[in-house]
Chains A and B, each alone.
Chain A
């Protein structure tokens, strides 16, 4: 299809989608049967509106109910005199928010903490304007439409296709995609807005999202822009915290190939929505809205610290299952205990000045003004497709993520040597608090493996070499594919230094050019692809941060498993 045809198609598609939401459910819009999951379980609705399979037992007891009534009384007083008494700066407010805002006050208090009334007053008419522009021009409408129908469908408000809350969600996300053109729409935002819509009006939800993204208390802009620079910075900071406070757990995670990138994305992107039980998420959100982004770091630390003993007993599959599936169902600590632990984590991190990941560098901050949209933009802005090239920010991200994954394998005691038996034996586990599930000796065993880790790599040469093939993360093949360069364009060794502030890595690539081979057309059977990997030398100096490990530079040569004899250049 030509660009014009694609464009015409995108415009037509957008018109149809927008029309459906404007009509809404009541006015006879056509709904495919598969779009509308059936509702038979009204009796199993929890207090927040989520539908549960089977019968749902509300767990709060009479004492908790009395406590909540008591809190509601106190909050009523406090909210009444909010403006007169400068409640917002008071210790009393802080104390009470940490105890949990009563659900009936949540929307009101969130709105006050975020100062939504003031913003709305200043920006009168803006939201409506953005909605209209979005219906006409937003290139993200198709993506938003797909996600609206996949956001909290287990919640009664979002269950029915094109019902009023789905329409509100569609409007807010659409309007924001035009309001903040640098982000547009990014997956993860729909859950946040859906949560906001459970407590706020449509326009309030829009301005709340806007506050999270651009207010300096939250600065979430850098999370959602392409390349996710803030996500990477947060993940690095998280690793730093683990290396300092939970080094053995970090090694255990590394050993099992569970790197930070896998499990923290939703934690940071949506402030733990979907990753811990909803009721606890609300408590965390109360604090997030009061305190800002610092709470993300502390809560991430809190989750791993609280569950480290369990995690030590699990292998890779089960760790991910535990963090992604089991924890959202059952956090295993009561909400109050989890929040008390969170406060302790904040204090602990503060002492080491690690509670805050730092002020955002310029590349994480908005560059274009908000709410100014000119319809005559480029083709790329009109049709969202799969781009062939990455932007420079995305390239950096991509390379850093690859590098980190690789590093976690290198740093791990057994990761690359015995990846094949990564199911852990509990005998290796000793906890970061010094306790052990099997008594003395376990600490030694773990420390032992970690010492051998770096030193032995050079000795187990054949295995190491074939396994070191995963070094091709930022290799010529990648450069060639994404930038449209052919291997023959690289005639001199190319060194790439890592922009990440952690370990120092210098890579030297020595291209061995076989221009007639294109990776796409090479037959997988004849092994011709190997030329890309085998002509590479890699020198790696691993900087060890924990005291129980010796500093050993690791030198590896690299070749992929190959059906023809490989020519390794050994640097030793």
Chain B
């Protein structure tokens, strides 16, 4: 019996991190199910979601690890940061404390992932305009200073959610093409799936299709 043919060429591992209540699971749900879950339960430990997307003509499966936000769970969720190709770091634009904690989350991420991990900062709940507690410019500056990609998004309206996940994937894909990301390392968070099943060997080299993104 042979393995089923893969319907995608790569797997990218993502993690979603940030304080509790910032909307990590809702972002994930909006991205995978394309709807807002107003009665979304809080995450305890880690949950898991997947979706296949198309980046530069390549089918890419995103394997997304959603983590608990409560402080004390950090001791157990950190072990799943390792080997992430993308990290979505989320704060709540209506609660300043969640923004203030970003540097801790960033330190954790930088220490536990590898240098080529793409970190994307998301300011969630952008639809609650009159409750805004963190200015866009301030967060943008923080993102620029630390070399992070950044958008404000809304898991409720879906605004910029797709963009955040897909842009991260594009950036990772770029890194693969540039050769900055070594596919042979488990640490990279990227698995290459050759389209011919059963012919995988460790020396498989990834194809390098031309891409304008």
Q: With the chains together, A284 CA to B97 CA distance in Å? A: 40
Residue among B79, B100, B110 making CB contact with A401, cutoff 8 Å: B79
B212 CB-CB contact with A under 8 Å: no
Cβ contact within 8 Å between A425 and B115? no
Whether B39 contacts A154 by the Cβ 8 Å rule is: yes
User: Which of the residues A266, A467, A525 comes within 8 Å of B45, measured between beta carbons?
Assistant: A266
Q: Using CB atoms, name the residue of chain A closest to B180.
A: A525
Q: Could you mark each residue 80-93 of chain B with 1 if its beta carbon is under 8 Å from any beta carbon of chain A, else 0? A: 10110000000000
Within 8 A of A (CB), among B132-150: 146-147
The yes or no answer to A153 lying at the interface (CB within 8 A) is yes
Q: Digit string of B107-131 for contact with A (CB within 8 Å is 1, else 0)?
A: 1101110111100000000001000
In the complex, chain B residues whose CB is within 8 Å of the CB of A270? 44
Known A-B contacts A416-B186, A423-B6; the reply to A187 vs B76 at CB < 8 A is no
* A402 pairs with B78, CB closer than 8 A: yes
**What 1/0 mask marks residues of chain B from 1 to 13 whose CB sits below 8 Å from any chain A CB?**
1111010000000
Instruction: Indicate with 1 or 0, residue by residue over A460-473, a CB within 8 angstroms of chain B CB atoms.
Output: 10010011011001
Check if A227 sits within 8 Å of B75, measured CB to CB: yes
User: How far is A405 from B63 in the complex, measured between Cα atoms in Å?
Assistant: 18
Task: State whether the Cβ of A79 lies closer than 8 Å to any Cβ in chain B.
Answer: no
Q: Which of chain A's residues has its CB closest to B22's CB?
A: A146
Q: Report the separation of the CA atoms of residues A527 and B107 in the bound assembly, to the nearest whole angstrom.
A: 18
Docked Cα-Cα span, A1 to B187, in Å, equals 38
Task: Check if B41 is an interface residue, CB within 8 A of chain A.
Answer: yes
**Interface status of B182 (Cβ within 8 A of chain A):** yes
The answer to whether B73 touches A401, judged by C-beta atoms less than 8 angstroms apart, is no
Q: How many A residues, CB 8 Å from partner?
A: 83
Asked whether B48 lies within 8 Å of A188 as measured between CB atoms, the reply is no
Q: Which residue of B lies closest to A51 (CB)?
A: B39
Partner of B46, one of A262, A402, A519: A262
Does A133 have its Cβ within 8 Å of any Cβ on chain B? no
| Interface flag for B160 (CB, 8 Å) | no
User: In the complex, how many angstroms separate the beta carbon of A328 from the nearest chain B beta carbon?
Assistant: 11
Interface flag for A310 (CB, 8 Å): no
- The answer on a CB contact under 8 Å between B191 and A150 is no
Contact A522:B115 (CB < 8 A) given known A186-B72, A261-B79, A385-B101: yes
Contact across chains for B2 and A463 when beta carbons are under 8 A apart: no
Is A540 at the interface (CB under 8 A from chain B)? no
B182/A466 in contact, CB under 8 A:
yes
Q: Complex: how many Å from CA A395 to CA B78? A: 11
In the complex, what's the smallest C-beta–C-beta distance from B83 to chain A, in angstroms? 7
Q: Which of B39-74 contact A (CB under 8 A)?
A: 39-42, 44-48, 50, 63, 68, 70-74
Q: Any chain B CB within 8 A of the CB of A274?
A: yes
Structural contact, A262 and B75, CB atoms closer than 8 A: no
Give the CA-CA distance A418 to B63 in the complex, in Å. 17
Would you call A228 and B75 a contact (CB within 8 A)?
yes
- B70 near A34 (CB under 8 angstroms)? no
- Is the CB–CB distance between B68 and A187 below 8 Å? yes
Task: Give B13's nearest chain A residue, CB to CB.
Answer: A257
Instruction: Please provide the chain A residues from 290 to 332 with a CB less than 8 Å away from any CB of chain B in the complex.
Output: 316-317, 320-321, 324
With A425-B2, A466-B182, A481-B111 as contacts: A460 and B202 at CB distance below 8 Å: yes
User: Smallest distance from the beta carbon of A521 to chain B beta carbons, Å?
Assistant: 9
- Inter-chain contact B188/A386, CB cutoff 8 Å: no
Contacts A153-B41, A419-B191, A422-B191: A394 and B180 contacting too (C-beta < 8 A)?
no
5 more contacts with CB within 8 A, not counting A231-B76, A385-B71, A481-B111, are A1-B96, A269-B44, A421-B3, A524-B115, A525-B115
| A residues apposed to B, CB below 8 Å | 1, 6, 32, 34-35, 37, 143, 146-147, 150-154, 159, 186-188, 190, 226-228, 231, 261-262, 265-266, 269-270, 274, 316-317, 320-321, 324, 384-388, 390, 394-395, 397-398, 401-402, 404-405, 409, 416-427, 438, 460, 463, 466-467, 469-470, 473, 477-478, 481, 519-520, 522-525, 527, 529, 560-561
- B residues with CB within 8 A of A: 1-4, 6, 19-21, 38-42, 44-48, 50, 63, 68, 70-76, 78-80, 82-83, 96-97, 100-101, 104-108, 110-112, 114-117, 128, 146-147, 156, 180, 182-188, 191-193, 200, 202
27 A-B residue pairs with Cβ-Cβ distance under 8 Å, sorted by A, are: A6-B97, A146-B20, A146-B42, A147-B42, A151-B41, A152-B41, A186-B72, A187-B42, A187-B68, A226-B75, A270-B44, A390-B75, A401-B78, A402-B78, A405-B82, A417-B202, A420-B183, A420-B200, A423-B193, A425-B1, A463-B202, A469-B114, A470-B82, A470-B187, A519-B110, A560-B185, A561-B184
